[in-house]
Structure 1
Amino acid sequence: MPQVSVNIRMDRELKKEFESFCSEMGMSMTTAFTIFAKKTVREERIPFEIGFEYPNGQLLKAIENVEKGKNLSRTFYSIKDLMEDLDAGDSI
């Protein structure tokens, strides 16, 4: 099958670390990306979980509020007030 080139951008330090990892595994970065692409196409999904390792400050504050029963929801006295709040996009 004919080969094509693919260019990607990434942080310089990440590239160095990834290159080192691939070398330790006995493969090139091209081989690693090809493995990823083939597995993704075969499984029709990203072949690993994507998420945050640690909750960010906003999530930690929300968890704290739930545990304390604070700021669980805002009170609106009219549909107009509710819609204005939704349109503003402010978070709790």
Structure 2
Amino acid sequence: MAKTAMIRARTDEKLKDQVETIFHRLGMTTTEAINLFYRQVKVHRGLPFLVRLPNAETRKTLERSARGEDVKTFKNIEDMFKDLES
């Protein structure tokens, strides 16, 4: 299939740089990633991932977490699992 169609979009420069770094680590170009996304949309007949609005409880939890409230931190994964077991 000949690639003749052009896509133009604007995005945040920092986001673009971060995402392109990930693509590079995956061994793909931005064009390849976009084509992969398009193919997945075609296969799924929609977005290839869930897109939904958070409910009120989730929004409140995300807001608290963003403020650093009710957030637990651990030195290592073992400590995290010990906390989960208690």
Match of 2:20 in 1: 19
The Cα of 1:42 is off from its aligned counterpart by 1.8
Match of 1:4 in 2: 5
Match of 2:47 in 1: 46
The Cα of 1:51 is off from its aligned counterpart by 3.8
Are 1:56 and 2:51 matched, yes or no? no
The Cα of 1:50 is off from its aligned counterpart by 1.9
Match of 1:74 in 2: none
Which of structures 1 and 2 has the larger relative contact order (alpha carbons within 8 angstroms, sep 6+)?
Answer: 1
What TM-score, normalized by structure 2, do the two folds share?
0.58
Aligned equivalents of 1:13, 1:52: Cα separation in 2: 25
Which 4+ stretches in 1 moved above 3 angstroms? 51-54
Q: Gaps spanning 5+ residues in structure 2: where?
A: 64-86
Provide the alpha-carbon RMSD of the alignment. Answer: 2.9
Q: Percent of pairs identical after alignment?
A: 22
What TM-score, normalized by structure 1, do the two folds share?
0.54
Task: Report Cα offsets for 1:57-88 as digits up to 9, x if no partner.
Answer: 4xx8xxxxxxxxxxxxxxxxxxxxxxxxxxxx
Q: What secondary structure sits across from 2:11 in the alignment?
A: coil
Q: Determine which structure has more spread, i.e. the larger CA radius of gyration.
A: 1
